[in-house]
Amino acid sequence: MEIFVVPDAAATGTVAAGILAAVVRSKPDAVLGVATGGSPLPVYAALARHRLDMSGVRAFALDEYVGLPSGHPQSYAEVVRREVTERLGLDPARVSVPDGGALDPQQAAADYDAAISRAGGIDVQLLGIGHNGHIAFNEPGSALDSRTRVENLADRTREANARYFASPEDVPAQCITQGLGTIMEARHLLLVAHGADKADILAAALQGCLTADCPASVLQRHPHVTVVADEAAAANLRPGGVVAVRVEDTAVGV
């Protein structure tokens, strides 16, 4: 596992976008795994500045709420359209989000898992980490080999995501999420984290016990993980394996 520590949130975007841009340049038909939430926003902003030809790129989102009306601004289909597809100039037909409005969400989840495989699997999966250690919506207790499925959101996750909705009760109770086993099949995992509120969970996930109580700890088993954290999020990491990066010095900077 490589852990890069950079000064601030914007620099997490610069470094992570540099890694993604290098993948797209070397493989113009790359399959990217994209994430929603606040953590990846600096990455998309920085990646847009690379002005890459994204016409051959495919993208799969990690998760979606179940039950929001089609076109709801906080549905991940809409968030991905606004923050990822439009900003990066992706072909909307090549961007997939689980169908949270499906009549049979379990079937939609299984179909989504199969679609990722049919696309040849994900080359690089961008990830954030929740305060309870979730990745995608794999809440504590998720099986480490779980597949894309319907899940209940943890209360803590609904509270964290209430900032995007008019009231906490408006946050859906269920989601479709890629499973931990699905995520682990991506060839490269790229975790981004910024802010002091992520310091405890980042250290637990990367350097604590590998346990379903902290789903992100499954990353310890993956052969190719890159973590890009700002100094605040990295504050509790033990120094071993941690590389401080000055963005202006790095080959992956813009």
Active site residues: 63, 132, 134, 139
Told to check if 178 binds ligand PGA by CB under 6 A, we report: no
Q: How far is the CB of 20 from ligand PGA (least distance, A)?
A: 17
Please calculate the CA angle 35-11-198 and round it to the nearest 5 degrees: 60
CB contact at 8 A, 48 and 88: yes
Q: How far is the CB of 137 from ligand PGA (least distance, A)?
A: 8
Count CB neighbours of 165 within 10 A. 16
29-68: contacts with ligand PGA (CB under 6 A): 37-39
CB contact at 8 A, 63 and 128: no
Please calculate the CA angle 33-212-32 and round it to the nearest 5 degrees: 5
* Tokens at 227, concatenated: 């973590």
CA distance 133 to 6: 21
Phi–psi pair at 94, nearest 5 degrees: -105, 15
Which segment (96-104, 129-137, 217-225, 230-238) binds ligand PGA by CB under 6 A?
129-137
Told to check if 130 binds ligand PGA by CB under 6 A, we report: yes
Nearer to ligand PGA, 163 or 238 (CB): 163
Q: How far is the CB of 225 from ligand PGA (least distance, A)?
A: 16
Q: Is 73 helix (H, G, I), strand (E, B) or coil?
A: coil
Nearer to ligand PGA, 94 or 184 (CB): 184
Q: How far is the CB of 34 from ligand PGA (least distance, A)?
A: 12
Nearer to ligand PGA, 29 or 159 (CB): 159
CA distance 134 to 216: 6
For residue 136, what is the DSSP state?
A: T
Which segment (72-80, 94-102, 128-136, 170-178) binds ligand PGA by CB under 6 A?
128-136
Nearer to ligand PGA, 94 or 137 (CB): 137
Nearest to 132 by CA among 166, 110, 93, 158: 158
CB contact at 8 A, 48 and 40: no
Size of interface with ligand PGA, in residues (CB under 6 A): 7
Told to check if 13 binds ligand PGA by CB under 6 A, we report: no
Q: Is 202 helix (H, G, I), strand (E, B) or coil?
A: helix
CA distance 234 to 236: 6
Q: Which of 42, 101, 128, 179 binds ligand PGA (CB under 6 A)?
A: 128
Nearer to ligand PGA, 39 or 85 (CB): 39
- Residues in the site for ligand PGA, rule: CB under 6 A? 37-39, 128-130, 134
